[in-house]
């Protein structure tokens, strides 16, 4: 009897094994069909899968290769998503249920491509789009992943200009959870930003995926941008750190944040100065174009306000920057520290400024590309050089008819209009005033060579005789008719040339003799 029972148990075991083997031969095709249906439905794509292996023992697991998604079956653009290899773990119920439920998925070589413009069914650019199989897309199959991990991935964002290569972002250590759920997938990732070069750490929620138009996929989260090397942008330097919050959809993301650069500099002067900013911006995540709605910057002790845009150029590599910049009550020495090579600013005082700022795209450094067009006012200005300040003080006394050698120091007022291009600033309507004298000039200053070339008029409240002593006063009396100023006083044509560190001042003899 015991032998018969053992025989029947053995036959039963063989039958179970045979049944299990027969079932296992159908596991891989079932899971494959189930997965393809779920992916087609979720991404509205034609899905290709080169290989898939399903193992049930010792624990359910999948391995596959050559997974790609062509949105709406389009062949005129690269696949929306490509995954050269992947592996996953699951429970038995997760493989057989209506929802394909995977516990952990690891991706190798993930590439995501965001195409140009919205994607639609029908005719696009003269091509007929091949729709995914209607039956498969309407089955309602779902795919849910508890945890998705990709250690090395690439995000490619196509340019609206067909002649430009897509923008590339390297994504490191991407982790997502509850992928496929209606609320979107929480994520954490590290990205390499190409320019300025640095690492971005971000976490938030991505999705749910908008299959009919990926650009409308929602995203929100926080970011940290640490140790960004501004030296990778020609013409400036420093190490930038930034943090903030973002939310919106891929083609319109609202970003609010702050930046800090303790050693910001421009190559022409190479003086590091602290710079902090806070900002609100709108970013098109599909091409990187940025509209700055508010920028409040603090350069040393000077507040700078700006708004404008940073957009990709059409014909030139890089981005075109256009800003409206204003300073209401700044310190002149803070601004001059960026552009003047000397350790100490040659002049200090209170400053107001309004300017258009344009930095065209291209390979030239910032100083060569920078274009300015604006107005400025300086109040209570004093010169750092004692010799220059003494000359200004003397000018003020002589302009008032005081020929004494000593007197109180005076402050200067300066205002004018300026235009900058190719590293040179051209001034017009430039007025420099001290008590008793006003200088009206026009001319240029070269930032690199520091060469000065100005011409204009020196207006004195007093006549020439009162500005001189001894026999010189007689010469002044004789010359006064040639330099008489309408309304009283004197008007002398002058020229200022040389360099910033060694300027020369003199009477413009040609203009004096030929005033017409």
Burial class (CB in 10 A: 0-12, 13-18, 19+), 353: buried
Name the token pair of 176: 């997502």
Q: Are residues 62 and 87 in contact, defined by beta-carbon separation less than 8 angstroms?
A: yes
Residue 309 bridge partners (DSSP): 291, 322
State yes or no: pLDDT of 135 exceeds 70: no
Per the domain annotation, does 279 fall within a domain?
A: no
More reliable by pLDDT, 435 or 24: 435
What is the domain count for the chain?
Answer: 2
pLDDT for the residue numbered 120: 42
Residue 73 pLDDT level (bands cut at 50, 70, 90): confident
Q: Determine the Cα–Cα distance for residues 293 and 283; give it in Å rounded to an integer.
A: 11
Per the domain annotation, does 194 fall within a domain?
A: yes
pLDDT for the residue numbered 411: 86
Residue 382 pLDDT level (bands cut at 50, 70, 90): confident
Residue 37 CA from chain centroid, whole number: 41
State yes or no: pLDDT of 27 exceeds 80: no
pLDDT for the residue numbered 247: 96
Domain boundary among 196, 216, 236: 216
Per the domain annotation, does 376 fall within a domain?
A: no
pLDDT for the residue numbered 7: 53
Angle of CA points 119, 123, 125, to nearest 5° = 80
Q: Are residues 43 and 80 in contact, defined by beta-carbon separation less than 8 angstroms?
A: yes
pLDDT for the residue numbered 369: 85
More reliable by pLDDT, 392 or 92: 392
Torsion of CA 260, 266, 272, 273, to 10 degrees: -50
Per the domain annotation, does 299 fall within a domain?
A: no
pLDDT for the residue numbered 275: 93
Domain boundary among 184, 216, 248: 216
Per the domain annotation, does 157 fall within a domain?
A: yes
Q: What is the mean pLDDT of residues 175-201?
A: 88
Across the chain, mean pLDDT equals 81
Q: What is the mean pLDDT of residues 194-205?
A: 88
Q: Are residues 238 and 265 in contact, defined by beta-carbon separation less than 8 angstroms?
A: yes
pLDDT for the residue numbered 32: 80
Q: Determine the Cα–Cα distance for residues 112 and 170; give it in Å rounded to an integer.
A: 11
pLDDT for the residue numbered 373: 95
pLDDT for the residue numbered 161: 61
State yes or no: pLDDT of 128 exceeds 50: no
pLDDT for the residue numbered 435: 92
Q: Are residues 204 and 218 in contact, defined by beta-carbon separation less than 8 angstroms?
A: no
Residue 10 pLDDT level (bands cut at 50, 70, 90): low
Q: Determine the Cα–Cα distance for residues 325 and 304; give it in Å rounded to an integer.
A: 7
Residue 350 CA from chain centroid, whole number: 30
Name the token pair of 230: 């501004």
Domain that holds residue 450: 385-513
pLDDT for the residue numbered 86: 94
Residue 176 pLDDT level (bands cut at 50, 70, 90): very high
Residue 125 pLDDT level (bands cut at 50, 70, 90): very low
Q: What is the mean pLDDT of residues 290-300?
A: 93
Q: Are residues 205 and 177 in contact, defined by beta-carbon separation less than 8 angstroms?
A: no
Q: Are strands 99-108 and 142-157 parallel, antiparallel or unpaired?
A: parallel
Q: Are strands 302-312 and 290-299 parallel, antiparallel or unpaired?
A: antiparallel
Of 371, 369, 366, residue with least CA distance to 234? 366
Per the domain annotation, does 484 fall within a domain?
A: yes
Residue 18 pLDDT level (bands cut at 50, 70, 90): very low
Name the token pair of 204: 């938030």
State yes or no: pLDDT of 119 exceeds 50: no
Long-range contacts of range 451-455, CB-CB < 8 Å, 24 or more positions apart? Answer: 451/497, 451/498, 451/499, 452/496, 452/497, 452/498, 452/499, 452/500, 452/503, 453/496, 453/497, 454/427, 454/430, 454/495, 454/496, 454/497, 455/493, 455/494, 455/495, 455/496, 455/508, 455/511
Q: Determine the Cα–Cα distance for residues 432 and 396; give it in Å rounded to an integer.
A: 11
Name the token pair of 357: 């700022």
For 207-235, the pLDDT digits (tens) are: 888 877 777 889 999 999 988 888 877 77
Q: Which of 55-59, 353-357, 381-385 has the lowest mean pLDDT?
A: 55-59
CB atoms within 10 A of CB 406: 8
State yes or no: pLDDT of 121 exceeds 50: no
Residue 281 pLDDT level (bands cut at 50, 70, 90): very high
Per the domain annotation, does 289 fall within a domain?
A: no
Domain boundary among 166, 185, 216: 216
Q: Are residues 387 and 501 in contact, defined by beta-carbon separation less than 8 angstroms?
A: no
Q: Which of 33-37, 120-124, 301-305, 333-337 has the lowest mean pLDDT?
A: 120-124
- Percentage of the chain beyond pLDDT 70 is 85
Q: What is the mean pLDDT of residues 310-327?
A: 81
Q: Are strands 412-421 and 239-249 parallel, antiparallel or unpaired?
A: unpaired
Q: Determine the Cα–Cα distance for residues 37 and 50; give it in Å rounded to an integer.
A: 15
Concatenating the DSSP letter of every residue in 252-295 gives EEEEEEEEEEEEEEETTT---EEEEEEEEEEE-TTT--EEEEEE
Q: Which of 249-253, 273-277, 292-296 has the lowest mean pLDDT?
A: 249-253
State yes or no: pLDDT of 256 exceeds 80: yes
Q: Determine the Cα–Cα distance for residues 106 and 132; give it in Å rounded to an integer.
A: 26
Per the domain annotation, does 472 fall within a domain?
A: yes
- Who contacts 398 (Cβ-Cβ below 8 Å, separation ≥6)? 436, 437, 460, 462, 467, 468
Q: Which of 204-213, 258-267, 327-336 has the lowest mean pLDDT?
A: 204-213
As a three-state string, the secondary structure of 182-211 is CCCEEEEEEEEECCCEEEEEEEEEECCCCC
């Amino acid at each position: 009897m015991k032998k018969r029972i053992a025989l029947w148990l053995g036959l039963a075991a063989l039958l179970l094994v045979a049944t299990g083997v027969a079932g296992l031969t159908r596991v891989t095709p079932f899971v494959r069909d189930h997965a393809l249906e779920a992916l087609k439905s979720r991404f509205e794509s034609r899905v290709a899968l080169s290989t898939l292996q399903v193992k049930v023992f010792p624990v359910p697991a999948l391995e596959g290769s050559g997974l790609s998604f062509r949105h709406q079956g389009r062949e005129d653009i690269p696949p929306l998503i490509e995954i050269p290899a992947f592996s996953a773990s699951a429970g038995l119920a997760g493989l057989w249920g209506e929802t394909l439920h995977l516990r952990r998925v690891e991706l190798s070589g993930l590439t995501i491509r965001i195409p140009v413009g919205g994607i639609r069914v029908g005719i696009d650019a003269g091509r007929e789009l091949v729709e995914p199989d209607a039956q498969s897309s309407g089955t309602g199959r779902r795919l849910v992943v508890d945890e998705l991990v990709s250690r090395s991935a690439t995000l490619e964002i196509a340019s609206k200009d067909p002649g430009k290569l897509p923008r590339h972002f390297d994504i490191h250590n991407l982790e997502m959870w509850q992928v496929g759920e209606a609320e979107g997938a929480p994520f954490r990732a590290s990205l390499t930003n190409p320019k300025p070069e640095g690492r971005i750490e971000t976490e938030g929620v991505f999705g749910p995926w908008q299959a009919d138009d990926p650009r409308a996929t929602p995203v929100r989260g926080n970011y940290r941008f640490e140790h960004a090397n501004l030296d990778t942008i020609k013409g400036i330097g420093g190490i930038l750190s930034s943090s903030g919050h973002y939310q919106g959809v891929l083609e319109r993301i609202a970003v609010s944040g702050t930046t800090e650069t303790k050693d910001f500099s421009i190559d022409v002067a190479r003086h590091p100065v602290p710079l902090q900013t806070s900002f609100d911006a709108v970013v098109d995540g599909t091409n990187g174009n940025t509209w700055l709605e508010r920028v409040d910057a603090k350069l040393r002790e000077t507040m700078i306000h700006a708004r404008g845009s940073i957009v990709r150029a059409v014909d030139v590599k890089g981005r075109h920057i256009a800003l409206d910049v204003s300073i209401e009550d700044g310190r002149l020495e803070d601004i001059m520290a960026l552009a003047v090579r000397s350790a100490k600013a040659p002049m200090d005082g209170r400053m107001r400024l309004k300017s258009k700022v344009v930095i065209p795209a291209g390979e030239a450094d910032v100083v060569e590309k920078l274009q300015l067009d604006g107005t400025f006012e300086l109040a209570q200005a004093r010169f750092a050089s004692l010799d220059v300040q003494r000359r200004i003080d003397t000018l003020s006394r002589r302009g008032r008819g005081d020929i004494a050698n000593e007197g109180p120091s005076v402050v200067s007022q300066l205002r004018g209009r300026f235009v900058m291009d190719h590293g040179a600033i051209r001034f017009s309507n430039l007025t420099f005033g001290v008590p008793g004298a006003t200088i009206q000039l026009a001319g240029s200053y070269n930032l690199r060579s520091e060469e000065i070339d100005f011409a204009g008029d020196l207006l004195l409240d007093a006549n020439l005789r009162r500005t001189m002593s001894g026999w010189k006063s007689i010469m002044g009396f004789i010359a006064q008719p040639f330099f008489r100023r309408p309304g009283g006083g004197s008007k002398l044509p002058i020229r200022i040339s040389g360099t910033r560190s060694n300027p020369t001042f003199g009477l413009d003899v040609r203009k004096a003799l030929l005033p017409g």
